[in-house]
Amino acid sequence: MKNSIIILSLLILIALVFGCVKQIEKTDDITEIPKEPEQKTIEAEPTVAEEAASSENVSIAPAKVVEDPDTPSEIICKKVPLSAQLSQIDKYYCLAVVNDDSEICQQIKVDSGDEEDEANKNICFAVAGQDSSYCEKISDLSPKHVCYYQTAIISENINICDEIDYDDNERMQCYFTFVSNLYWWDRSNEITTEYCNKFPAGQPDRNTCLAFKERDVSLCNNNVNCLTFFEQPMSFCNGKGSNLDDCVRDRAMSSKDVSICEQLSGEKRDDCLGDFCTHINLDIAICDKITEVMEKQSRYVEIAINIADEVRRDD
């Protein structure tokens, strides 16, 4: 079974849409995030024997250079793929993004004529290098959208969404994904009025953006698609019909209570656990409770990237 960044990313994006779209949260409750050790190049100092040998023109083996250990994020990336049926693409993408090194994307091998892997490679270059020009090279619209979404989020530049000028709905979804991420990640102070003004005046999404910015539920104006992002009692989900599972997931997220995910089953349970382990509590043990291996692998990549981002912010 061929795995791809496209499929994994779409699974995450679809799971997070409620109303227009939803994303997941990062809060101050993130605990015990391991610090990434500072990367240093350790030069080998000449030993006394080497200095003596140099003066006498005698050859001697140099002292051994100590290599940097893998960072916590790299350790997680290198666990991928989680099964022999999944490809190596996610591993290289993960390592490239956590290290801000798009050259790692060169290790993604593309068979002649394989448009899916070619798109994956371009997404890798775009996101790791924070260069949306690679998204323009993708002809298939689904991975093209994913490329713009992810590049905007990783580069922290909402204006990259403007480049989706060929589809108004996708462009609005990109904006919403961007601001809802900041809200879930407890970074509402980074949401600006300019961001919210990207949504048409009078549209519910503009008010939702302002509610995210101020973390003020009263600004939702009774819009349930906004209210669900804020802590609500479980009774809020009564009568939600086909949206019941998403509503239950939101209750787990907004109340920071992972046990609520256990009220769900199958794919929806996996989605809830995946959202929680990558944004509420960066805990690989929670991700390991996910049943479906492809979903679990996508969350491994996501948690590695989020840990690396958290460490950079702390530095």
- DSSP assigned state of 200: P
Task: Quote the CA–CA distance of 286 and 303 in Å, as a whole number.
Answer: 11
SS3 state of residue 231: coil
Angle between helices 89-98 and 5-16 (to 10 degrees): 70
- Report the chain's terminal Cα–Cα distance, integer Å: 40
pLDDT given for residue 125 in this prediction: 98
Helices (H), the chain: 5-16, 48-55, 72-77, 89-98, 115-129, 141-155, 168-184, 193-196, 204-214, 224-227, 244-255, 266-279, 284-287, 293-314
Other C-beta atoms lying within 10 Å of the C-beta of residue 42: 9
- DSSP assigned state of 140: S
Residue 191 has pLDDT above 70, yes or no: yes
Residue 14 is encoded by which pair of tokens? Answer: 């679809």
The confidence band for 257, taking pLDDT boundaries of 50, 70 and 90, is very high
Query: Do residues 264 and 242 make contact, with C-beta atoms less than 8 angstroms apart?
Result: no
Residues 223-245 pLDDT 10s = 999 999 999 999 999 988 878 99
**Mean pLDDT confidence for 262-284:** 95
Task: Quote the CA–CA distance of 242 and 69 in Å, as a whole number.
Answer: 48
Angle (nearest 5°) at CA 267 between 250 and 247:
20
Residue 39 has pLDDT above 70, yes or no: no
pLDDT given for residue 16 in this prediction: 47
Burial of 127 (0-12, 13-18, 19+ CB in 10 A): buried
- Residue located via tokens 């979404």: 149
Residue 23 φ then ψ, to 5°:
-130, -175
Count of positions (residues) in the chain:
315
- DSSP assigned state of 36: P
**Mean pLDDT confidence for 7-16:** 47
The confidence band for 17, taking pLDDT boundaries of 50, 70 and 90, is very low
Which range among 16-30, 60-74, 111-125 shows the weakest confidence by mean pLDDT? 16-30
Residues 145-178 pLDDT 10s = 999 999 999 999 999 999 999 999 999 999 999 9
Burial of 162 (0-12, 13-18, 19+ CB in 10 A): middle
How confident is the prediction for the chain on average, in pLDDT? 84
The closest of 109, 125, 79 to 287, measured between CA atoms, is: 79
Burial of 270 (0-12, 13-18, 19+ CB in 10 A): buried
Task: Quote the CA–CA distance of 128 and 150 in Å, as a whole number.
Answer: 10
